[in-house]
A and B are shown apart, each in its own frame.
Chain A
Amino acid sequence: MSTGKKSTSHATRASAASTPARLTGSEILWATLEGEGVDVVFGYPGGAILPAYDALKKFPIRHVLVRHEQGASHAADGYARASGKVGVAVATSGPGATNLVTGIATAMLDSVPMVCITGQVSSKVLGTDAFQEVDITGITLPVTKHNYVVTRADDVAKTIREAFLVAKSGRPGPVLVDITKDAQQGQAEFDFAAAAPKPHRPHPMLKTESASILQAAELIRSAKKPVILAGHGILQSGAGAQVRTLAERMRIPVASTLLGLGAFPASHPLSLGMMGMHGEAWVNHAIQQADLLIACGMRFDDRVTGTLATYAPNAKKIHIEVDPAEINKNVKVDVALIGDLKEALEALLPHLAPREKAESPWVKEIEASKGECAVRDIKNLPDSGHLYAAHVIHDLWRATEGKAIVVTDVGQHQMWEAQYYKHEAPRTLITSGGLGTMGFALPAAIGAKIACPDKEVWVIAGDGGFQMTAAELSTAAQEELDLNIAVVNNGYLGMVRQWQEFFYEKNYQSSPLRSPDFVKLADAHGIAGRTVKQRSDVLPAVNAARGHKGPFLINFLVEKEDSVYPMIPAGSALHEMIRRPNTPLVETATDK
């Protein structure tokens, strides 16, 4: 079956298209991935997956060697979010597989299409506690959309193809395929076309009936104070244009979830920005005052609603959602359109004639409520020589003209990013929303940069989260990625410290942390970098990073005890927020 490297490679590519051939399970794995359009995988070799790695060189697939398997699953996730394609992670059995789990759960909570391939011990010793054996399909059962065990080379192609279909269809999500070593080593006929899966069963409870559409249209027409809630589903469904048409035609302001940022242009006059726990006051007030909420591809997460008892008490609710299990889960809705968002909106829009008056009193009312908050905004404060994270993000936004792909970690910097970096285009903010996975940023950015090599990619991470996966600096260096890294360094696990300040009487238990000199750490990896301590140095440093070929790290030493405002304490109502103080800033006395 294999005569020479080059010729085999060509033969396989041809076989991926049509000709059946007899190949090993390992070869079938790569050939099937190739057939599915995969050109890069993120992985880490090990015993049980070695047969697959041995066959990789015959295929035109780039392998990015991460430094920990969690990095592989986050990178595949970042790749998927940036490109809209299915990301692929590969790991060996046992610890390799378990290390993927955090990344798989991250993708599950944020509905990211991903296929994870793990090696498994030979089928003859399955269940005997063989070396590096772990029941990974059992472990990942609740955090995957579906998973498979493959014990025969014959089943490799059809299982992988089905996994891709499941990952992409309906509400997307991660799928894991566990392939035993003997399945990789065995031989089988490979016929890519014949391995095509049956069409995916659409969820039988999907329904966008014409009666519901008319009902929704009527609610929208008669609403005086409507708000669109823009979620991640807009990106997944590619419904940005339809949402924009709906907003513009009916003069409806648009509030975004964290993962919905970028789905509607931030500079649009109808854009309100992010809602929820750290949303601006006027956004949450608008939702509380609204008489109609049109939820587009979002799931009324608790970080968005605050306490449900008082959530938008006067509003009728229309929920347009692809997952029937989300309907009435948290918030009882009046009309549910259960189906693909883009299709549902396309069915809805013809029933809506444009509003006659260009001016909407409701939009004006919201606009008027902004006034005071805007003045108190931290970015409007004069330069006092102190450096605030908000300054860093604001200047980064200005320098990149809002066009970069920003990959954030989790915590205070993530919320500041959401507040101060204005995203204009879909898939320009990549962040772990549902699971809130610290350590996500750097590996996910590696995936995003590889998916979009021509785009400027920035990592924004805190000093805590960055250290969770800092080993991936080595991956970025080895792959020579043109990646810009901003560490927002305040010497604390900042969001933990903020909660301790607000809700635990400033008992800063275990939240201060000492970090290595990140610039030296970068240097040890052959990565350029510099430290910034004052605002006047922010733009020059950002521009230096942008002009630099290869990875560049900036260590921003920001105000230590700054907090994210406004904030709705967990379990409180949307209007019960902790507002930004009039003299907002805690300025640490210690000389920097």
Chain B
Amino acid sequence: MLHTFVALVEDKPGVLTRVASLFRRLNINIVSLTVGHSEKPGVSRMTIVCEASPTSSHRIAASLYKLENVLQVDDISQLSHVARELALIKVAATPKTRSQVFELAEVFRARIVDLAPESLMIEITGVESKIEGLIQVLNENGDRILEISRTGRMVMRRGQHTSRVLEAMRVPGLETPEELRAEEGSDSDVLMAEETGF
């Protein structure tokens, strides 16, 4: 099955290698991996999507935590979350054939971000299936796709959960994770059930 992990890691040279190398070592293929800044200076946020057996998520999370540069790991596959991906799609189109691509883009709420005599570029944001859908329709329409660049999935949990939870957890004796979970809002019961099983 597909697992989605969010990992907050130190923003230092070599950290990406360590994370990627862990998946290599576990013989797990990474489907997509996005990295960027988080809300905290010096901390990067990774969204890792990988194909692995349903029982492997505990071991993946536990192994990620063994990396000294990993600050927080969240396995959100089963949790309520928002997932988005951004894609840039370059399509061959002449001034004559442009308009039908424009129409398609509008239906998919995509934007045209570049226009050249022989091609145009579409920017689309959404869940993977929406992007797949646009690509499929373009293909079926006979529009020639010249290039696709996709960011891979990035995700965020719904509700009041914040990644600062980890910060509190890291200071011993301040607050226990249980207390923090109780503050997490409406879906906290679900979260707790998910998180307490190892």
Q: Assess whether B17 is in contact with A205, with CB atoms less than 8 Å apart.
A: no
Residue of A nearest to B66 (CB): A325
Indicate if B59 sits at the interface (CB-CB under 8 A): yes
Given contacts A141-B18, A142-B25, A205-B198, contact A328 B59 (CB under 8 A): yes
Chain B residues, CB < 8 A from A328? 55, 58-59, 198
Q: A353–B48 Cα gap in the complex (Å)?
A: 48
Chain B residues, CB < 8 A from A166? 68
Given contacts A137-B14, A204-B169, A205-B198, contact A325 B62 (CB under 8 A): yes
Contact among B59, B61, B72 with A329 in the assembled complex (CB-CB below 8 Å): B59
Min distance, Cβ B155 to any Cβ of chain A, angstroms: 20
Indicate if B21 sits at the interface (CB-CB under 8 A): yes
- Inter-chain CB contacts under 8 Å: number: 49
Contact among A146, A201, A203 with B62 in the assembled complex (CB-CB below 8 Å): A203
Encode B49-78 as 1/0 by CB contact (under 8 A) with A: 000000100110111011110011100000
A selection of 27 A-B contacts at a CB cut-off of 8 Å is A137-B14, A138-B17, A141-B18, A142-B21, A142-B25, A146-B68, A166-B68, A199-B172, A201-B71, A202-B172, A203-B62, A203-B65, A204-B72, A204-B73, A204-B166, A205-B65, A205-B198, A324-B65, A325-B59, A325-B66, A327-B58, A328-B55, A328-B58, A328-B59, A329-B59, A336-B198, A338-B198
Residues facing A in B145-198 (CB within 8 A) are 166, 169-170, 172, 177, 198
Q: Assess whether A203 is in contact with B55, with CB atoms less than 8 Å apart.
A: no
Residue of B nearest to A332 (CB): B55
Indicate if A248 sits at the interface (CB-CB under 8 A): no
Min distance, Cβ A165 to any Cβ of chain B, angstroms: 10
Chain A residues, CB < 8 A from B73? 204
Min distance, Cβ B45 to any Cβ of chain A, angstroms: 17
Q: A173–B18 Cα gap in the complex (Å)?
A: 16
Encode A177-205 as 1/0 by CB contact (under 8 A) with B: 00000000000000000000001011111
Chain A residues close to B by CB (< 8 Å):
137-138, 141-142, 145-146, 166, 199, 201-205, 323-325, 327-329, 336, 338
Q: A137–B169 Cα gap in the complex (Å)?
A: 30
Q: A142–B25 Cα gap in the complex (Å)?
A: 8
Q: A328–B55 Cα gap in the complex (Å)?
A: 9
Q: A205–B18 Cα gap in the complex (Å)?
A: 20
Q: A201–B73 Cα gap in the complex (Å)?
A: 13
Q: A328–B61 Cα gap in the complex (Å)?
A: 13
Chain A residues, CB < 8 A from B177? 204
Q: A329–B169 Cα gap in the complex (Å)?
A: 26
Residue of B nearest to A328 (CB): B58
Chain A residues, CB < 8 A from B68? 145-146, 166
Chain A residues, CB < 8 A from B17? 138, 141
Q: A338–B58 Cα gap in the complex (Å)?
A: 13
Chain A residues, CB < 8 A from B66? 145, 203, 323, 325
Q: A138–B68 Cα gap in the complex (Å)?
A: 15
Min distance, Cβ A416 to any Cβ of chain B, angstroms: 34
Residues facing A in B1-18 (CB within 8 A) are 14, 17-18
Contact among B14, B25, B61, B71 with A205 in the assembled complex (CB-CB below 8 Å): B61
Chain A residues, CB < 8 A from B61? 205
Of listed B59, B67, B166, residue having the most chain A CB within 10 A: B59
Q: Assess whether A205 is in contact with B62, with CB atoms less than 8 Å apart.
A: yes
Q: A166–B66 Cα gap in the complex (Å)?
A: 11
Chain B residues, CB < 8 A from A201? 71, 170
Chain A residues, CB < 8 A from B62? 203, 205, 323-325, 327
Known A201-B170, A205-B61, A327-B198; further 17 A-B contacts with Cβ < 8 A = A138-B17, A141-B21, A146-B67, A202-B172, A203-B65, A203-B66, A204-B65, A204-B72, A205-B65, A205-B198, A323-B62, A324-B65, A327-B58, A328-B58, A328-B59, A329-B59, A338-B198
Q: A146–B177 Cα gap in the complex (Å)?
A: 27
Encode B15-54 as 1/0 by CB contact (under 8 A) with A: 0011001000100000000000000000000000000000
Min distance, Cβ A338 to any Cβ of chain B, angstroms: 8
Chain B residues, CB < 8 A from A336? 198
Chain A residues, CB < 8 A from B72? 204
Chain B residues, CB < 8 A from A205? 61-62, 65, 198
Min distance, Cβ A206 to any Cβ of chain B, angstroms: 10
Chain B residues, CB < 8 A from A204? 65, 72-73, 166, 169, 177
Q: A202–B166 Cα gap in the complex (Å)?
A: 12
Min distance, Cβ B65 to any Cβ of chain A, angstroms: 5
Min distance, Cβ B182 to any Cβ of chain A, angstroms: 16
Q: A166–B55 Cα gap in the complex (Å)?
A: 29
Residue of A nearest to B73 (CB): A204
Q: A145–B67 Cα gap in the complex (Å)?
A: 8
Closest 10 CB pairs of A and B: A325-B62, A324-B62, A146-B68, A325-B63, A205-B62, A203-B65, A325-B59, A142-B25, A141-B21, A201-B170
Chain B residues, CB < 8 A from A202? 172
Q: A201–B172 Cα gap in the complex (Å)?
A: 9
Residue of B nearest to A138 (CB): B17
Min distance, Cβ B143 to any Cβ of chain A, angstroms: 44
Min distance, Cβ B72 to any Cβ of chain A, angstroms: 8
Q: A145–B66 Cα gap in the complex (Å)?
A: 8
Chain B residues, CB < 8 A from A145? 66, 68
Of listed B55, B66, B170, residue having the most chain A CB within 10 A: B66
Residue of A nearest to B21 (CB): A141
Q: A145–B177 Cα gap in the complex (Å)?
A: 26
Chain A residues, CB < 8 A from B172? 199, 202
Q: A201–B170 Cα gap in the complex (Å)?
A: 7
Residue of B nearest to A175 (CB): B68
Chain A residues, CB < 8 A from B198? 205, 324, 327-328, 336, 338
Chain B residues, CB < 8 A from A327? 58, 62, 198
Q: A480–B87 Cα gap in the complex (Å)?
A: 69
Min distance, Cβ A195 to any Cβ of chain B, angstroms: 17
